[in-house]
Amino acid sequence: MPLHARLVVAAAVVMVWLALAALAVRPQIYFGAPEVGERALLRFYVLHVYVLPALLTMLLAVHVWRVRKDGFAGGEPVAEPRAAVAEPDREGAGDGR
């Protein structure tokens, strides 16, 4: 496995362990109270309906922008389409012949 892939996996493992440790030490961080109730349901509803879609939309926009900027698989960038400009007729144009 390449180094960058191992670093991503290691970072994900650390993030999961930190989240689990925070949940074990202080469940109020996630639920708002020691028990799951109305406040916890409201927090998770807001997270799933507003925050996650907004975050995913922003990540998708950055991803599409980077693919367009850098090209597919790190190749040449995608050239911007140029407007077709009609070339003037060179034979006798403007000299009155």
Domain tally for the chain?
2
Are 30 and 23 within 8 A, CB to CB?
yes
Mean local confidence (pLDDT), 2-18: 81
> Domain for residue 96, yes or no?
no
Predicted local confidence at residue 93, as pLDDT: 56
Its domain, for residue 18, covers 1-31
The pTM is what? Answer: 0.42
Q: What's residue 58's pLDDT?
A: 93
* Dihedrals phi, psi of 90, to nearest 5 degrees: -80, -25
Half-sphere exposure at residue 25, Cβ-oriented, CA atoms within 13 angstroms:
6
> Mean pLDDT, the chain, as a whole number?
75
Query: Each residue of 58-83: pLDDT tens digit?
Result: 999 998 988 888 777 655 655 666 66
Q: Quick one: 24 and 42 in the same domain?
A: no
Residue bearing the bigger pLDDT, 9 or 88: 9
Residue 94 has pLDDT above 70, yes or no: no
From 13, 43, 16, 18, select the one nearest 28 (Cα to Cα).
Answer: 43
